[in-house]
Chain A
Amino acid sequence: MKVSLNTIKQYVDFDLPPVDELVSRINQQLGGVEEIIDLGAKYHDAVIVRIVTCAPLEGTDHLNVTKIDDGGVTKDVERDEDGRVQVVCGAPNVRVGMLAVWLPPGATVPSTAEDDEPFVLSAKPLRGVVSNGMLASPRELALGDDHDGILEVSPEEVTSGSVAIVPGANFAQTFGLDDTIIDIENKMFTHRPDCFGQLGVAREIAGILGQSFTTPSRYVDDPQFENGDGLELEVVNDIPDKVQRFMAVTVKDVTVKPSPLWLRCELVRLGGKPINNIVDVTNYVMLQTAQPVHAYDYDKVGTSRLGVRLAKKGETVALLNGKVEALNDTDIVITDGEKPIGLGGVMGGRETEVSNQTKNIILECAHFDMYTIRRTSMHHGLFTDAVTRFTKGQSPLQNDRVLLELMKSVMTVAGGEPSSKVIDEQSLQTFSERTVHAPLSVSDNFINQRLGLRLTDKEIATLLSNVEITHDDLNYIAPYWRTDIEIAEDIVEEVGRLYGFDKLPQDLPRRTVIPAIVKPERALKDKLRAILSRAGANEVLTYSFVHRNLLEKAGQDPRHAFQLSNALSPDLHYYRMTVLPSLLDKVHMNVRAGYEHFALFEIGKTHSFDEDGDNFVDEDGVPLEGQLLSLALANGDFYQAKAITHFMASSLGIEFTYEPLNEHVLFEPKRSALVRVDGEPIGVVGEFRVSARRAFKLPDVSAGFEFNFDTLLAMVSDTQSSYTPLSKFPSAERDVTLQVDRGLSYAETEKAITDHVAKLDVKVTLMPLGIYQPEQGSTKNMTFRLQFTSAKKTLSGDEVTAIMNDFASDMNTKLKATII
């Protein structure tokens, strides 16, 4: 929202503080300032001059050599004996006696001021004749598209303030272009439709500076319309729920022409673009009041009727931007009684556009439902000034006052007179004709408690009345333009903001010493990160969304994956079903980057649904989320992945068991294990299928794991510990090699051993030392170190030998093992 300080000054009756201070107050109490534009700098050197002589330049068909009178104000410029300055001009309208705008040497052409290389004028010869700077056209002055001739300044132009139009007058000062424009973030005003007009912002600026503001009476008093006659007009509103109010009136005998200079300059200051007097006035009124309005060519409408309804499917409308839009049955259209002639609240139509030939017009001032306008705007990609304002929910109570202001302004710049009665189709849903929402009863205590302040009722009342929120004995009453003051908290916000949030007391909340609960999942994740990084693995974070290819490479069925409907890239079309494929996807690029032996891990959420499209919803009705802990190991085999797994389990104080895996899409069953904790399956550790290895370009030896985090969480508890008390007596050790059948698994062997030693009254710890299996042959050798510790005494060699003999015979019985 661009705010002109010169315009603000017209509304307030006190002096504004310096720009820096004002900007800092706006930042603190109104909204973020995005940009401060020194408009005056752009026009700094432009001077009003009189053309004293004008003669054709010989040898050219359109250039004239002029001598101009600049009142002698410009320094460092070549003058003749009479003090005149020579300028060559190619404009057809240049003539002796006219007042024009001169850009002297050294001045930047305003229309190029924002270019990468602004055009700086100089004194240079044109066809051998020196031209000192230039006489400027409206386009060169950035005052519209007109480039047919130089800008002519009439001595009768309305000026800003008391500056007279004489040669030597500073152009910017004369027409208020010596302005500072403050651009405030629109986002801040999402709930403040009134702040999309200069008037609304002026009121706020007064409020935050602690000054009282009085809205001009034309926007407050009940409007007194003079009904005219001569032109028929009828309005039919079929959708009063979406268009609460629709006002229209005709004005006849207007003269369409360029706007007076003051109006053009006003528009330019506010970021608008002059077109013609009628269009300029409608824009000007909108920029001042925030209420978008529209003018139709009465004769082009042709039916003396305006209809308001929803579009029908298949209808189209040609808009002012030159495009033809195919309409939706949710779009509000304005019709000539039959066919659409404009997209209501969004953009006017081309067929009824006001042109230089227009004689009679219809002026419209209406209220449109903000949500409907938003949908239409989004659907058609139309983001106009009107849309920006209507989508914030303009107050329908301003329509009559704005329409009256519009009629007067039109007649001021274009002549004409009202030629119909003022039509006011309304079905207002507001609280009353003076206020949008019901008055609010809010106690001082309520306000003070929420702000931590101790303001008196008088202080509160003053802050609010500065912005024209009044108070009777019981209630706060918001003026009609404040659509946002709806609940008591809105009054609190208003008081806090106007008082200054930076002045609130900074007290910390107080609570008892009850400790905050630590969520176990967060604690476990932190622990897992620490453990796995200690095991040399690198934590990665990868996207939750994946390409369909990734799912397919991992053998997953995209039909069971949640799918994004509006992702910008196919890389993000699906929610990932598991985490491991995302990790495998990152192995190859790291190998290429020169890393050989590494492990990537991630703890991530996963989503999928089953065959029936059942989403496995939780109590809130949203899909259940799985959590996986996954690791990909490059250039490491099953046993290394298992070593990491084992390290993790023992660091967590839990025990994993491993058993052969049956079937798996990603893991190779012959070299992978199903992992359980307390009998509960928790995931898989293993090497990948060749197909997966190829699809992901993995090194030949690659392994990994994928564990269900939630199962893990359920199994881990802080109170578990694998600690056993230390014995006071020394231990004895024996290494033993069992020759067993080649097919006997390590687990079976280990179980037989642990079952055996469990019955002994000494503690035995078991450590595997090696497994030897010759290429041929039906047996293999497993070597263990057994450590014997008694809690009661030091074991003698004989005692240990006895234990070992027993052990050997039991192993022979159970495992058909030979001790060698």
Chain B
Amino acid sequence: MANTDTVQQELLARIHDSEQPHEVLRAPELRALADGLKTLPPEQRADAGRALNQLKKSLQVAIEQRQAELLDRDVTPIDVTAPFDVNSDRPSLLPTENGTVHPISREIQVMSDILQRMGFMVFESREIDDQYHMFESLNFPAGHPARDDFDTFMTVQTDKDGEPLIAPAHTSTMQNRIMRELKPQLEAGQPIAAASIDRVFRNEDLDPRHEHTFYQHEGIYVDKNIHAGMLVATLKTFLESYYQKSLDVRVNPFYFPFTEPSFEFSMSCPFCEGGGCAVCSQSGWIEILGCGMIHPNVLKMAGIDPEVYTGFAWGGGVDRLVMMKHGIEDVRYFQSAKLDFLRQF
């Protein structure tokens, strides 16, 4: 009986040159191998059977490849420099009424525009970063327990210090860079007013309320004589402009390593005027973001003297704003690319 390997080589070669590669599966060599099985002593049969299956599988793969090759070969070439095909009409665009912008992009646009009008420069964030920017530069030393709160994705690949790279779990990963970039402006007497709105990642299981990939907005403001009341006033102004109505706001003390003091920021529910509804869980209040006065260590690490300058920072989710606005029930729809979902916006 012929050796399986030899048969395999022979048949693969045949497939490679065949115009009808599928036919190779009917090769007599294969039949011979199959017949040979029956003559084997029972204890060898299992191994030989497996080898034959393996062989058939590899042939299948090769056949598919060859078929694709043949199909590729049979493709009719076209003049790609022409605006339309020969003997054809000029192609049209798709109907404009079907076109949509993703609701999250749209919301980011709305928020960016408000911030821009308030004097903030709007940055994007990164999708891969090092631990210095995600943690150290934000006053989370190595081993800091607050690092645990972020469920950060890490990469196999490492940075120059041999530390895993990370998928940023907050847009604050841009804070140090932005402050460094705008520091000359600060020293020239202009405040640093900047926001970053972009995609962030947390290693979480998916469910209707949790996504591992979502969007955050964050802002910083640094100047002389900035105080905590200004933080509250700025956020209130931003949210009132966003919801186009006046709102009550309140802050609760909180803990973040990168701000001191830190707050959770709540607004009166814009959907029920504080009377209680499903969006605010009947409480009349919605906890909308985290914020605080930028920690002096964070300023120092960006080369800004905390004795001279003070500032505030905030961060919050974008997805949730969009969900509340439209009553979207499942956060996973955002990245599902379902046209049923997208074409509603």
Spell out A's residues near B (CB within 8 Å).
Answer: 27-32, 187-192, 370-371, 374-375, 378, 391-392, 449-453, 487, 489-490, 492-493, 496-497, 501-502, 504-509, 511-512, 514-519, 521-522, 525-526, 529-530, 532-545, 562-568, 572, 575, 583, 586, 589-590, 593, 595, 597-600, 605, 607, 609, 613, 615, 617, 620-623, 625, 636-640, 642-644, 646-647, 658-661, 668, 670-673, 686, 689-691, 694, 745-748, 750, 768, 771-773, 780
Closest to A372 in B: B143
CB–CB B338/A593 < 8 A: yes
C-alpha spacing A526/B106, complex, angstroms: 9
Given known contacts A191-B255, A391-B145, A660-B80, is B128 in contact with A519 (CB within 8 Å)?
no
Q: How far is the CB of A510 from chain B (nearest CB, A)?
A: 9
Q: Which residues of B contact A746 (CB under 8 A)?
A: 79, 81-83
A-B contact pairs, 20 of them (CB 8 A): A28-B250, A187-B254, A190-B145, A371-B142, A378-B148, A450-B227, A489-B296, A509-B223, A522-B122, A537-B94, A539-B342, A542-B337, A565-B164, A613-B157, A621-B160, A622-B159, A670-B75, A747-B81, A771-B79, A771-B84
| In the complex, chain A residues whose CB is within 8 Å of the CB of B145 | 190, 370, 374, 391-392
B167 touches A544 (CB 8 A): yes
Q: A187-B255, A519-B123 are in contact. Are A497 and B72 (CB under 8 A)?
A: no
Q: Is the CB of A671 within 8 A of B77?
A: yes
- With A28-B252, A620-B177 given, is the CB distance from A637 to B91 under 8 Å? yes
CA distance A511 to B121 in the complex (A): 13
Report how far A506 CA is from B64 CA in the complex, Å: 69
Instruction: Check B1 for interface membership: any CB of A closer than 8 A.
Output: no
As a 0/1 sequence over residues 73 to 96 of chain B, the CB contacts with chain A under 8 angstroms (1 = contact) are 001111111111111101111111
Q: Give which listed residue, A539, A564, A694, contacts B154 with CB less than 8 A.
A: A564
Cβ of B288 under 8 Å from chain A: no
**In the bound complex, what is the Cα–Cα distance between A673 and B167 (angstroms)?**
34
Closest 7 CB pairs of A and B: A536-B94, A747-B81, A533-B99, A452-B227, A746-B82, A504-B229, A673-B80
Q: A451-B227, A535-B93, A538-B100 given. 12 additional CB < 8 A pairs?
A: A188-B255, A191-B255, A449-B227, A489-B295, A490-B260, A514-B190, A522-B112, A533-B99, A575-B127, A590-B337, A640-B93, A671-B78
- Contact partners of B261 in chain A: CB under 8 A: 489, 492-493, 496-497, 501
B150 → chain A closest CB, angstroms: 12
Cα distance, A451 to B226, chains bound together (Å)? 8
Tell me if B31 counts as interface (CB < 8 A to partner A).
no
**Which stretch (B22-30, B232-240, B274-282) binds chain A?**
B232-240
Interface string of B145-161 (1 = CB under 8 A from A): 11011000111110110
The residues of B that contact A780 with a CB separation of less than 8 Å are 86
| Chain B, interface SS category | mixed
CA distance A564 to B169 in the complex (A): 14
User: How far is it, in angstroms, between the C-alpha of A506 and the C-alpha of B312 when the chains are bound?
Assistant: 14
Given A508-B237, A564-B156, A643-B91, are A534 and B99 also a contact pair (CB < 8 Å)? Answer: yes
- Point out the residue from A511, A526, A538, A595 that lies within 8 Å of B99, measured CB to CB: A538
**Inter-subunit contact B157/A188 (CB<8 Å):** no
B54 contacts across to A, CB distance below 8 A: none
**B83 adjacent to A607 (CB under 8 Å):** no
CA distance A600 to B122 in the complex (A): 26
Stretch at the interface among B2-10, B13-21, B32-40, B197-205: B197-205
The answer to whether B241 has its CB under 8 Å from any CB of chain A is no
Question: Which B-chain residue is minimally distant from A502 (CB atoms)?
Answer: B250
B310 within 8 A of A: yes
CA distance A538 to B225 in the complex (A): 46
Asked if B53 CB lies within 8 Å of chain A CBs, one says no
B193 at the A/B interface (Cβ < 8 Å)?
Answer: yes
Which of A519, A609, A622, A644 has the most CB atoms of chain B within a 10 A radius of its CB?
A: A622
B238-267 residues at the A interface, CB under 8 angstroms: 250-255, 260-261, 263-264
When C-beta atoms are compared, the residue in chain A nearest to B74 turns out to be: A690
With A and B bound together, what is the CA distance between A32 and B109 in angstroms? 32
Tell whether, in the assembled complex, residue B253 and residue A529 are in contact, meaning their CB atoms are under 8 Å apart: no
CA distance A73 to B175 in the complex (A): 66
Residue of A533, A642, A647, A668 near B100 (CB, 8 A) is A533
C-alpha gap A508/B149 in the complex (Å): 32
Q: With A507-B230, A745-B82 in contact, do A31 and B253 touch (Cβ < 8 Å)?
A: yes
Q: Which residues of B contact A391 (CB under 8 A)?
A: 145
**B213 located at the interface, meaning its Cβ lies under 8 Å from any Cβ of chain A in the complex:** yes
**Nearest opposing residue in chain B for A661, CB measure:** B80
**Contact A646:B83 (CB < 8 A) given known A452-B230, A493-B260:** yes
Contact B128 A623 (CB under 8 A): yes
Complex formed: what's the CA distance from A620 to B173 in Å? Answer: 12
Query: Which residues of the other chain, A, contact B122 by a CB distance below 8 angstroms?
Result: 518-519, 522
Contact B75 A564 (CB under 8 A): no
Chain A residues near B260 (CB-CB < 8 A)? 489-490, 492-493
Contact B105 A539 (CB under 8 A): yes
- Inter-chain contacts of A451 with B (CB < 8 A): 227-229
Query: Interface residues, chain B, CB within 8 Å of chain A?
Result: 64-65, 68, 71-72, 75-88, 90-102, 104-105, 109, 112, 116, 119-124, 126-130, 133, 142-146, 148-149, 153-157, 159-160, 164-165, 167, 177, 190-191, 193, 199, 201, 203-205, 212-213, 221, 223, 225-230, 232-234, 236-237, 250-255, 260-261, 263-264, 293, 295-296, 306, 310, 334-335, 337-340, 342-343
With A533-B100, A661-B80, A670-B75 already in contact, the answer to whether A371 and B228 are too (CB < 8 A) is no
Contact B101 A562 (CB under 8 A): no
Asked if residues A622 and B72 are in contact (CB atoms below 8 Å), the reply is no
A690-B205 Cα distance, complex, nearest whole Å? 36
Chain A residue numbers with a CB within 8 Å of B160 are: 617, 621
Q: How far is the CA of A690 from the CA of B145 in the complex (A)?
A: 52
B-chain residues with CB within 8 Å of residue A392 when the two chains form the complex = 145
The answer for the CA separation of A772 and B81 in the assembled complex, in Å, is 15
Residues from chain B with a CB closer than 8 A to the CB of A748 are 81
Cα–Cα distance between A492 and B226 once the two chains are bound (Å): 13
Q: Please, how many angstroms separate the alpha-carbon atoms of A397 and B75 in the complex?
A: 81
Q: How far is the CA of A691 from the CA of B129 in the complex (A)?
A: 35
The answer on a CB contact under 8 Å between B104 and A541 is yes
A514 vs B119: C-alpha distance when bound (angstroms)? 8
Task: Return chain A residues, CB-CB under 8 Å to B88.
Answer: 639, 771
Contact of B68 among A449, A519, A670, A694 (CB under 8 A): A694
Q: CA–CA, A496 to B252, complex, Å?
A: 11
Q: Which B residues are CB-close (under 8 A) to A508?
A: 230, 233-234, 237
Are B338 and A589 neighbours in the complex by a CB distance under 8 Å? yes
- Measured in the bound complex, the distance between the Cα atoms of B148 and A529 in whole Å is 37
Tell me if B337 and A600 are in contact (CB < 8 A). Answer: yes
Q: Check A450 against B252 for contact (C-beta < 8 Å).
A: no
A356 to B252, CA, bound (A): 47
Q: Are B155 and A374 in contact (CB under 8 A)?
A: no
Given A507-B233, A623-B165, A563 and B157 touching (CB < 8 A)? yes
Residues of B within 8 A of A590 (CB): 337-339
CB distance from B261 to the nearest CB of A (A): 4
Shortest distance between the CB of B148 and any CB in chain A (Å): 8
**Residue numbers in B under 8 Å from A545 (CB-CB):** 153, 167, 201, 212-213
| Contact (A535, B96) CB under 8 Å given A187-B254, A188-B254 | yes
